[in-house]
Amino acid sequence: MNNSNNLLTEGPVGKGLLVVALPIIISNLLASILEVVDMYFIGKLGDVSIAGGAMSISIILVLTTVIFGIVTATAAFVSRAYGSERFERIQVILSHSLYLALAFSAILAVIGLFWSQDLLLLLGADPEVAAEGARFLSPMLIGMFVFVTLMILTTVFQSTGDSRTPMFVMIAVNIVNIVMNPTLITGLGGFPALGIAGSAYASLTSRTTGVLLLIGVMYLLPSRKNGPVRFPKKWTFEPRLVKDIVKVTIPSAVQSGVRSFAFLGMTAIVALYGTAAVAAYGICQRLDMLGLVFVMGLCTGVAVMVGQNLGAGKVERAEKAVRIATIVNASFMALVGIIYLLYAKHLLAFFGAAGETLADGILFMQVIPMSYFVIAMAMTMGFAMNGAGMTRPGMYAAIAGQLIVQVGLAAMVVAMGLPLQFVWFAVVCGTVVVFLCDLFFYKQGVWKTKKLNLGGEN
C-alpha cells in the first residue's frame, strides 16, 4: 500500500489541515448536540432529575480521565505509524488500546453496579437526588465500554486521515439518540417509561449503533477491505507496547483529571457567592465550550498532522501546520470573544439567565472572553505536542495554570472577601499561565525529536 498520495504529508499544508479538521469540527458539533438533547429531555423530568443528571455527568467526567489519556495516546501512536507507512502496526496498536480501555471500563462497570448512589451522596446530593441520579449513572458506568470502544475506533479512523467516516457515523448516532431519548424516557410506541434511566439507555443504544457502523465500514465496504483500520487477524499481546502506550497515557490522564478537579474546585468556590453565581457559571461554561468546538476540531486535526508528519520525517511541515492552526484558532476565538462581549445579555438570556444570574453572567462575559484567543493558542500548542506523543507539558501546564494559579487565586479572592468579578480575573490569570507553560515547552522543541516505539520489526 503506497502512502505517496497522503494529503496530510504531501501537498499544501493548509489544505491537508482543512481536509482532516473540517469533518472533526462537524463531529464535535454533533457531539455537543447529543449532550444538549440528553439534557433537554432530562430537563422535562423536573428539578430532581436535572440535579441528578448534572451531578452524574460531573462524576463521569472525573472517572473517565484515564480514557481520555488512552485516546490521546492512541492518536499519537496510530498517526505516527500511518505517517511512517508502518500500516501493519495500526491493527496491533488498536487492539492494545482496546485492551487498556476495556480493562479500565471493567473497573468503572463494577463501580457503577455497586456504588453509583454512594458517589452521588459523597458529592453532596440529597438522598432523593442521589437515588434518581443513580438510575442514570449506574447504566452509564456499566456500559462505559461501549462509549470507550466508539471513541477509540473514531480516533483510529481520524489518525489515519479519515475523519469523514466518523462524521457520517456521528450523524447516525445523533438520529438514533434523538429518536430513542423521548421513546425510552416517556415510553412511546409500547416501550416502558423509564424516566431518567431511559436517557442513559438511549445514549448506550446510539453509541452501540456507532460502534457497529464503524466495524461495518471496516469489513463490509469494498473500498476498505484492504484498509489499514481493522482488527488484527491474530490478537497478540505485546507487554512492551502496552507499557509505551501507558507512558503517553498517564500524563494526559493526569491533565484531564486536573482539569476536572479544577472545574469542581471553581464550582465550589463560585457556590460561596450563592445559587445565582453557580447558575451563571454553568451557563457561561456552556458558552465557553460552544465557542471552543471549532478550536477543538482544528486542534485534533493538528495532532494528526504532527503525528503523521513526524512519522514521515517531515518536521518543518508539522511546524507549519501548527503555525497555520495557531493563527486561525486565535483569530476565530478573538472574534468569538468580541461577539460574546457585545451580545452577552442576549446570549445569557437565551440559556435562561435572568435577574441576579444574568448580572453575574454579564460580569463573567466582560472579563473572560477577552482571554479566549490566549486559550486558543495554548490549546493548539498543547495538542501539537500531544500529537507527537509528548503529553507531559500539558500536564505541567494544567497543574500550574488551572490548579495552582486559577483555583489558588480564586480561593484567595474568597478569603479576602472580594466581589465575584475578581474570581473571573483569577480564571484569566490561570489561562495566561497555561499559555506560558505550553509556549515554553513548545519553543524548546523536544517534541520534534520525540521517539515513539511502535513495536514489531522496523
Q: Which domain holds residue 294?
A: 250-445
| Residue of 195, 224, 201, 230 lying closest to 138 (CA atoms) | 201
Distance of CA 419 to the CA centre of its chain: 32
Looking at the structure, tell me whether residues 176 and 316 fall in a common domain: no
Long-range interactions of 413-416: CB distance < 8 A, separation 24+: 413/269, 414/269, 414/272
Sign of the alpha-carbon torsion through 380, 384, 385, 386? positive
Domain end position, chosen among 210, 237, 264? 237
Greater confidence, 61 or 24? 24
Looking at the structure, tell me whether residues 285 and 158 fall in a common domain: no
The total number of structural domains in the chain stands at 2
Q: What is the pLDDT of residue 457?
A: 65
Q: Which residues contact 332 (CB under 8 A, 6 or more apart)?
A: 294, 295, 376
Q: What is the pLDDT of residue 268?
A: 84
The verdict on residue 385 lying in a domain is: yes
What cell numbers appear for 238 in the block?
A: 505485546
Tell me what the pLDDT averaged over the chain comes to: 93
Distance CA 139, CA 146 (A): 11
- Asked if the model's pLDDT at residue 3 lies above 60, the reply is no
- Asked if the model's pLDDT at residue 1 lies above 50, the reply is no
Band (pLDDT 50/70/90 cuts) for residue 2 is very low
Eight-class DSSP state of 233: S
Helices (H) and strands (E) in the chain, counts: 17, 0
The verdict on residue 341 lying in a domain is: yes
Looking at the structure, tell me whether residues 115 and 226 fall in a common domain: yes
Q: Read off the pLDDT of residues 265-304 as tens digits, 9 standing for 90 and up.
A: 888 888 888 878 877 887 888 888 888 999 999 999 999 9
Instruction: Say which residue the cell 440528553 belongs to.
Output: 38
Instruction: Say which residue the cell 500500516 belongs to.
Output: 87
Looking at the structure, tell me whether residues 410 and 360 fall in a common domain: yes
The verdict on residue 318 lying in a domain is: yes
The verdict on residue 451 lying in a domain is: no
Q: Read off the pLDDT of residues 218-243 as tens digits, 9 standing for 90 and up.
A: 999 888 878 899 999 999 999 999 99
What cell numbers appear for 255 in the block?
A: 491533565
Looking at the structure, tell me whether residues 220 and 314 fall in a common domain: no
Looking at the structure, tell me whether residues 352 and 318 fall in a common domain: yes
Looking at the structure, tell me whether residues 414 and 318 fall in a common domain: yes
- Asked if the model's pLDDT at residue 254 lies above 70, the reply is yes
Band (pLDDT 50/70/90 cuts) for residue 4 is low
| Residue of 241, 288, 244, 271 lying closest to 456 (CA atoms) | 241
Q: Read off the pLDDT of residues 184-224 as tens digits, 9 standing for 90 and up.
A: 999 999 999 999 999 999 999 999 999 999 999 999 988 88
Looking at the structure, tell me whether residues 180 and 254 fall in a common domain: no
